[in-house]
Structure 1
């Protein structure tokens, strides 16, 4: 059995991060169930990735569709924060400062030295971020992300 696992692991070494599934991440489960459709295969792939401990190996060595470089981000966490703080965030962005805006920058992972630029660019483009009274948190997140992508100092923080 150990030989079979070793052979399977070695044969999967050439795979690149292009093979990773967006929902279940990289790992052996993504390789085994590649091309399959449906929730059942996604759950099986995620379970395989989670229980076999192969994602750590893949991230460390850049195999199994994993890439050990880059920043860990969570657009869902950001959208949840924005959703729970829309009014306060709108107020802070309009002023270019405030606790909610500072917390957003921290949750986003913006370095302290770039937070002033973040505050200034969001304030200057308030109407591009909050496009209407009924704007959703997801749209605000997308608008902020697009705004940051156009700024040389903040482009590295785009999702």
Structure 2
């Protein structure tokens, strides 16, 4: 009972405070609130881990607390960014090969038509070093780099986001 009261009090305090919007790298939730104003990878990892535990991010989105806003619409670029973020290693491996399940799923999420998937895979494979510009590349950079390449390709330009 004491735990339930403590959680309720904590959530209530956050829901009525002036809350900063969620960090685009880590999202919203208790971790975003606790580590607000901190910088660096360690704090971002801790905040993201905290956001992902105990369903607090889901709670925040559902009730509009903890820096979350459940009223927005997920855009195709957000879907792509989330997919890339969760699949970076497998995607890098598939792009290097020019084929694979993760690359195929990316093309589906992107909305690439079947007739253009071979060209999409080829552009990605030929430009691996541009897409994954460093070993510390972020999912956002991968998305931007791949989108730029698609925009420059005559056959794929219509898929630019």
In which range does the TM-score fall when normalised by the shorter chain? 0.5 to 0.7
**Helix, strand or coil: the match of 1:131?**
coil
Q: Distance in 1 between matches of 2:108 and 2:155?
A: 16
Contact 1:148 1:157 in 2 (8 A): yes
Equivalent residue runs for 1:41-52 within 5 Å? none
Q: Of 59, 74, 77, which aligns to 1:75?
A: 77
Gaps of 5+ in 2: 1-70
**Helix, strand or coil: the match of 1:116?**
helix
**Helix, strand or coil: the match of 1:77?**
helix
- For the aligned residue pairs, the C-alpha RMSD in angstroms reads 1.7
**Helix, strand or coil: the match of 1:120?**
helix
Equivalent residue runs for 1:87-102 within 5 Å? 87-102=89-104
Which has more radius of gyration? 1
Query: Which structure 1 residue ranges, 4+ long, deviate > 4 Å from structure 2?
Result: none
TM normalised by structure 2 equals 0.54
Per-residue CA distance 1:10-49 (angstroms, 9 max, x = gap): xxxxxxxxxxxxxxxxxxxxxxxxxxxxxxxxxxxx79xx
Q: Report whether the alignment pairs 1:137 with 2:159.
A: no
Change in CA separation of 1:73 and 1:114 when aligned onto 2, cut-off 3 Å:
farther
Aligned to 1:149: 151
- Aligned residue-pair number: 90
Q: Distance in 2 between matches of 1:80 and 1:148?
A: 19
Q: Distance in 2 between matches of 1:137 and 1:79?
A: 6
Per-residue CA distance 1:98-123 (angstroms, 9 max, x = gap): 00000000000000000000000100
Gaps of 5+ in 1: 1-45, 48-71
TM normalised by structure 1 equals 0.54
Per-residue CA distance 1:74-126 (angstroms, 9 max, x = gap): 10110000000000000000000000000000000000000000000100000
Q: Distance in 2 between matches of 1:126 and 1:132?
A: 10
